[in-house]
Structure 1
């Protein structure tokens, strides 16, 4: 099973981000991909895990999507089991409580490997401070 983690910047407004989230839920559910998508409306940090061909196809769709720019692949590794048993999304609306959001991200990554957990928690903390 393949696990990819990438970061990107949104070329989108809040309505576009909502559409991206909805499309991600649909596509990943259909393709047997799990993971975590963090979005604060400006940045995306996503872990995708599942069958290699489907994860690669998902990344190709994301790279071709004009609503994303500056996509950077942070990690690509083969895993024996899923870090994320269910597909989950964390989306912070502008003005939302930062501490509650950080607690939600920590809950979502609690079962992930230490490296994945640190990536998401560190990114969420840095974005809260931005």
Structure 2
């Protein structure tokens, strides 16, 4: 089992319909492929962690890399894992601005044991949690 963390930028400011489309397809695929993770958006920026069986994770990441809705995809980490950090979500999601993104991400990552993974999400929320 592996975990990938990446960041990317949407080509256009994502609206609710775009987010719902991404989540709907992702959740369906992730359930089928036994993947779990968390997606956080702030403005046009996305930060995502995906975790699960290596072959299914690689196939999902290959689909993500060629998705024309975003660019500047940067893989921040990829590593083998023994246990999942987000086993309760086929795709957890949080978008900034309904509540302070920093507070929401702190709650979402409270039980994450890996301090580096927790710091990546909390730093992202600090940088991208304010309206443009």
Q: TM-score, normalised by structure 2?
A: 0.87
Any unmatched runs of 5+ in structure 1? Answer: none
CA contact (8 A) 2:5 2:77 kept: yes
Deviations 1:67-87 (A, max 9, x none): 011000000000111011211
Listed as ranges, the matches of 1:98-113 within 5 Å are 98=100, 101-112=101-112, 113=114
Indicate the SS of the match to 2:111: coil
Identify the structure with the greater helix proportion: 1
Indicate the SS of the match to 1:86: coil
* 1:16 aligned to which of 9, 15, 18: 18
Indicate the SS of the match to 1:3: strand
Question: How large is the Cα RMSD of the aligned pairs?
Answer: 1.5
Residue 26 and residue 83 in structure 1: after superposition, are their counterparts in 2 closer, same or farther (change >3 A)?
same
| Residue of structure 2 equivalent to 1:44 | 46
Q: TM-score, normalised by structure 1?
A: 0.89
CA contact (8 A) 1:17 1:41 kept: no
Listed as ranges, the matches of 1:45-84 within 5 Å are 45-84=47-86
